[in-house]
Homo-oligomer: A and B are copies of this chain.
Amino acid sequence: MGAKTKRPHVVVVGAGFGGLRAVKALADAKVDITLVDARNHHTFQPLLYQVATAGLDVDEVCAAVRGIVSSQDNARAIQARMTSLDTARQVIELDTGQSLDFDHLVLALGAVTADFGVPGVAEHAFGLKSAADARQLRNHVLTCFEQAEADERARQRLTTVVLVGGGPTGVEMAGGLAELFDRVLRKDFRGLNIDEARVVLVEGSPDLLTAFDKSLRAKALNRLERFGVDVRLNTTVAGVGPSSVTFTDGTSVDAATVVWAAGVRANPLAAVLGFETGRGGRIVVDDQLRVPGHDNIYAIGDLAIDPDDALPQVAAVAVQGGDHVARCIRAAVDGSAVPKPFSYNDKGSMATIGRNSAVVELPNGLKLSGFAGWVAWLGLHLIMLIGFRNRANVLVNWAWNYLTYDRGSRVIVDVNDEAARRSV
């Protein structure tokens, strides 16, 4: 029936929740897909705090992108950084020197930590957006405790962690760290008085977890304070130094570790593509998640914003966006009806606050907290984790941590380790 024609080429940039879902949702479409990511792995960002607090191994929250798509005949993955986009010629350039022609382009580049111009954050604070971030943070905290045992004078500073930002990341880190200190490092560092180690959680607004109902916010605050976390509400950071944080009220806290979880902005690449950007540097899209003026270029997830319907930068929005653009592309390819405008179906929010405790809020008004919330959180995250293997190992680690109050991953492996340089 005539010569075989070339199938439309879909290029998806970014292998986060949104990009991966777009690729998967096009599995049986008559297109060829190339998935491009600067890393060779998907990062399961909701569990990075567990890596940072020594509960999970780095590899357990990552999955090789090539492995994820290797069973999908119409998709391939390459590790490369997108450097530029030519909308007229419909081509993107990569840092490997390759270029990719596209018929449809899905931009799913996600977000990075935003310092909002606060001095010293870029130089002295840790982010928590990548697996490498999480491992660096873990190495740093454990190394500080080692040093604290040897250096009494600097002990208070070395065993103080300041977490900036009272959203889910800050709250989950606070709970995880408090548990790590109390249950594990107390036994590991018998030369220290662990009760003097401090976790300080700083939030500019009057409440933690402002996305949650008032009653759950109070429960989270109460739980953290019972864990010994020093929660400072209505407190804004003026600057971060190499060994302290200063607040706008003039006070400061000496701390060897500062984690910046106060917010994100769109991947900086968004700013150089020539598209209109909105709040947080996010690419403005229409109600079909298209970049206005470009019917074949989409932006989804944390990277994108519809000014008429600004959605939170969470995984669920990205996943549903990936589904939506897959439907749009399918319609364009086979001539079927264009889908209805994108509409986010909020399935609820959850945040864990350490052992046995989480807050969960569903859109129907159902609220869970404490142990029931924690079980719901655990189940959902196990289901979401990509790949059986990760799930099984995560389960082993969690079961072990739960039964023994232990953390198996408190190992400092530094590639800058003297013995690890590329030499012998």
Given A59-B58, A67-B188, A78-B150, CB of A41 within 8 Å of CB of B396: no
Interface of A is mostly: mixed
4 smallest beta-carbon distances between A and B, as pairs: A132-B420, A113-B424, A66-B188, A57-B59
Q: Is A415's CB under 8 angstroms from B412's CB?
A: no
A67 proximity list for chain B (CB < 8 A): 184, 188, 406, 410
Interface of A toward B, CB cutoff 8 Å:
38-41, 57-60, 62-64, 66-67, 70, 76, 78-80, 94, 96-98, 112-115, 121-127, 129-133, 135-136, 142-143, 146-147, 149-151, 184, 187-191, 260, 387-390, 392-393, 396-397, 400, 406, 408-420, 422-424
A112 in complex: contacting residue of B96, B126, B424, CB < 8 Å: B424
Contacts of A149 in B (CB 8 A): 78
Docked complex Cα distance between A188 and B76 (Å): 8
In contact, A146 and B413 (Cβ under 8 angstroms): no
Q: Is the CB of B78 within 8 A of A424?
A: no
Contact A422 B126 (CB under 8 A): yes
* B417, A39: Cβ atoms closer than 8 Å: yes
Partner of A423 from the list B122, B147, B412, B416 (CB cut-off 8 Å) is B122
- A146, B58: Cβ atoms under 8 Å? no
The answer for the CA separation of A247 and B122 in the assembled complex, in Å, is 48
Residues of B within 8 A of A420 (CB): 130, 132-133, 136
Q: In the complex the two chains form, what is the Cα distance from A389 to B395 in whole Å?
A: 11
Task: Given A76-B191, A126-B422, A424-B112, answer yes or no on A415-B417 (Cβ-Cβ < 8 Å).
Answer: no
- Do the beta carbons of B424 and A127 come within 8 Å of each other? yes
CB <8 Å contact, A132 and B96: no
A79-B143, A127-B424 known; 13 new pairs, CB 8 Å cut-off, are A38-B418, A41-B412, A58-B58, A64-B411, A66-B410, A78-B146, A96-B147, A125-B424, A129-B419, A129-B424, A130-B419, A132-B419, A133-B419
**From B59, B136, B146, B392, contact of A396 by CB (8 A):** B392
Query: Nearest Cβ distance between residue A40 and chain B, in whole angstroms?
Result: 5
Set B57, B70, B422: member contacting A136, Cβ < 8 A? B422
Q: A40-B412, A78-B150, A98-B150 are in contact. Are A396 and B389 (CB under 8 A)?
A: yes
Are A80 and B414 touching (Cβ within 8 A)? no
CA separation between A409 and B40, bound complex, in Å?
11
A143 to B122, CA, bound (A): 28
Residues of B within 8 A of A40 (CB): 142-143, 146, 410-412
**Given A423-B122, A424-B122, also A76-B190 (CB < 8 A):** yes
